[in-house]
Amino acid sequence: MPESGSSRLPTRVELGVWRSFLRAHARITRVLEAELIAEQRLSLAAYDVLVQLAETPSMRMRMTELADAVLLSRSGVTRLVDRLERAGLVGRERADGDGRGIVAVLTPLGAERLRSASATHLAGVAEHFGESFGPGELEAFGRTCDRLAADDVYP
């Protein structure tokens, strides 16, 4: 892998595949979001926040960790959690041992809403993503994505 700041430019093939990857990501994301909004009146980002909270043993996360997990800015996750809190899906509490820290907490209503929305979202992932791969392709794509996402590759 080239060092950060390398002067090497992408080849035509690399650039073409990169653009194809971006278009595919954008298309699938738009379709999944449209389905969630139409069937569940829940954005993909809101669904992701609920999933991140549900996947923790305590159903809670510090707001800074949540922002990193859902790939939103801190201000973006704050505004989203504000909306989810008004809807009763998420609560906020002070972090234990830290008077300044705030944690987002999944409410029982939020957990129920997530269960309902998961049926829509997971069916969409299977249809719009999973069914696009032939035998062996999905595993290879997964290994490539894991390599690209590894912290030791791009610190």
Give 15-26 pLDDT, tens digit per residue.
Answer: 999 999 999 999
| In the predicted structure, residue 114 carries a pLDDT above the cut 90 | yes
The C-alpha atoms of residue 40 and residue 22 are separated, in whole angstroms, by: 26
Phi and psi (nearest 5°) for 11? Answer: -75, 170
The C-alpha atoms of residue 39 and residue 113 are separated, in whole angstroms, by: 12
Kindly tell me the burial class for residue 41, based on how many C-beta atoms sit within 10 Å of its own C-beta (0-12, 13-18, 19 or more): exposed
Query: Rounded to 10 degrees, what is the CA torsion of 93, 96, 101, 102?
Result: -20
What is the predicted pLDDT for the residue at 5?
A: 61
Looking at the chain, how many residues does it have? 155
| In the predicted structure, residue 2 carries a pLDDT above the cut 70 | no
Arithmetic mean of pLDDT, 58-76: 91
User: Average pLDDT, whole number, for the chain?
Assistant: 92
Q: Which residue has the higher pLDDT, 46 or 97?
A: 46
Q: With contact defined as beta carbons under 8 Å apart, do 111 and 59 qualify?
A: yes
Q: With contact defined as beta carbons under 8 Å apart, do 53 and 66 qualify?
A: yes
At 94, is the secondary structure helix, strand, or coil? Answer: strand
Q: With contact defined as beta carbons under 8 Å apart, do 28 and 128 qualify?
A: yes
pLDDT, tens digit (0-9, with 9 covering 90-100), for 120-155: 999 999 999 999 999 899 999 999 999 998 876 455
Q: With contact defined as beta carbons under 8 Å apart, do 63 and 102 qualify?
A: yes
> What share of the chain in percent tops pLDDT 70?
92
At 141, is the secondary structure helix, strand, or coil? Answer: helix
